[in-house]
Amino acid sequence: MTTTPVASRDALSEPVDDLTGEHAVKRARIMEILDRTGHDSLLMTSNTVMTWYLGGSRLHISLAGDPVAVLLVDRERDHLVTSNNEADRLIREELPAGVVVHPVPWYESVLEVARRLAVPEPLAEADVQRELRMARQELLPVEAEHYAALNREVARAMTDVLSAVRPHTRERDVAAELSARIVAMGAEPLVLLCNGRERSAFRHPLPTAAPLGRRAMAVVCARRRGMVANVTRWVRFDGSTAAERDAEVRIAAVEADIFAATVPGARLDTIFDGIRRSYAVHGFGPEQWRLHHQGGPAGYAGRDPKVTAATDDEVVLNQAFTWNPSGPGVKIEDTVLLTAEGVRVLSVDERWPTVEVNGLMRPATLEI
């Protein structure tokens, strides 16, 4: 079928931030990939890649579903192919200037239509996953600013919600309050976890009707403008035990070792090897790393990617990370940015109690 292209923005559109400079840089990075691979176009199909390239445009309806559009980037322009029932909203509210929108009937395949727009066959996103990951490693100043603001707001929401809970509060009520604040800040709650005292053994505790009891953990992964903030916090009601204090100190020491290794030029597999050793050094045993993923680069995906012994990407300046070392009953997690001055913690609320660990203020357990 033949599509009728539509301009991405008209004079009646709701005002949005000027994304021209950001988009130009990202388009240049894609052109470099096309030059290296000898192709004339790239077909983007994932939410992570498209929201990065389009400056945070929301291309989803269901958080659990596939994007409602695909993007063909060629040497002349950007072509967004979407269903006719999505096109007007995307044009008026989401897309940066200059994107040509191709509406197709809702019952047609947007992927097939996009492929027919490209001659010759476009480069598939799946064939250059590593290259695209490298392209989005270094955050631009506007991205770092938006990301820092989101992380601050998520950290504040954590303080607001957890300061008000009590031992009888249900895990689901904690998640509901956090979700309301995330939506109110214009973000999307991708992950909401909470465990009370009786479920503290679970590393990924989906909330239940169980009460918090004397000690609880909450985890939020919230997305806005395509970027994902990841934060974990703990609350306790009747004082700490010596064993709890000891474990909290040791897991913070593991994180400090990871931060110290996160420097420009370091390879992620080398950092991962250091993480495994750090668990043993700090009394968690040599196998603790096997029980939960350790985090990794962050930004337009919760982890971009999760670091393993096979991840050989190199760390760059202005790259975001969320490391999350954990042990029995303990976990520490914040989103950080690697700057020329070192690791900068983004998810900070000055009201939350902290302790100094290797020169950085790190979150302590909130005692109520």
Domain boundaries, the chain: 6-135, 141-367
Distance CA 249, CA 260 (A): 16
Taking 70 as the threshold, does the pLDDT of residue 18 lie above it?
Answer: no
Residue 112: what pLDDT?
A: 96
Other CB atoms closer than 10 Å to residue 24's CB: what's the count? 12
- Let me know if domain 141-367 sits in CATH 3.90.230.10: yes
Beta strands 320-323 and 295-297: pairing type?
A: antiparallel
**DSSP-assigned letter for residue 211:** B
Per DSSP, the three-state class of 178 is: helix
pLDDT at 7 over 90: no
Answer yes or no: is pLDDT of 16 > 50.
no
Do 6-135 and 141-367 fold alike per CATH?
no
C-alpha to C-alpha distance for 136 and 49, rounded to whole angstroms = 9
Query: With the C-alpha atoms ordered 265, 268, 273, 277, is the resulting torsion angle positive or negative?
Result: positive
Give tens-digit pLDDT for 227-255: 999 999 999 999 999 999 999 999 999 99
Relative to beta strand 78-83, strand 99-104 is parallel
Q: What is the pLDDT of residue 17?
A: 44
Taking the C-alpha atoms of residue 165 and residue 176, their distance in angstroms, rounded to an integer, is 12
Residue 14 has pLDDT above 50, yes or no: no
pLDDT attached to residue 195: 96
309-to-135, 266, 281 alpha-carbon distances in Å: 22, 13, 19
For residue 180, pLDDT beyond 50: yes
Lowest mean pLDDT among 193-202, 240-249, 275-284: 193-202
Other beta carbons less than 10 A from residue 327's beta carbon: 22
Average pLDDT over residues 19-35: 92
Please say if the pLDDT value at position 1 is more than 60.
no
Other Cβ atoms closer than 10 A to 38: 7
Whole-number pLDDT of residue 119? 86
Third-level CATH fold of 6-135: Creatine Amidinohydrolase; Chain A, domain 1 (3.40.350)
pLDDT(156) > 70: yes
Token representation of residue 341: 């001055």
Cα–Cα dist 196/171, whole Å:
7
Task: Provide the phi-psi class of 22: left if phi over 0, else alpha when psi is between -120 and 50, else beta.
Answer: alpha
Neighbours of 214 (CB within 10 A): 15
Radius of gyration of the chain (CA): 22
Beta strands 41-44 and 123-124 are parallel
How far the first Cα of the chain sits from its last, in Å, is 64
Model confidence band, residue 6 (pLDDT cutoffs 50, 70, 90)? low
Per the prediction, the chain carries an average pLDDT of 94
Backbone angles phi, psi at 299, to 5 degrees: 130, -105
Question: Which pLDDT tens digit goes with each residue over 99-148?
Answer: 999 999 999 999 999 999 998 999 999 999 999 999 999 999 999 999 99
137 φ/ψ angles, rounded to the nearest 5 degrees: -60, -55
Q: What pLDDT shows up at residue 11? A: 26
Q: Is 255 in contact with 231 (CB distance < 8 Å)?
A: no
What is the rounded distance in angstroms from the CA atom of residue 101 to the CA atom of residue 69?
Answer: 10
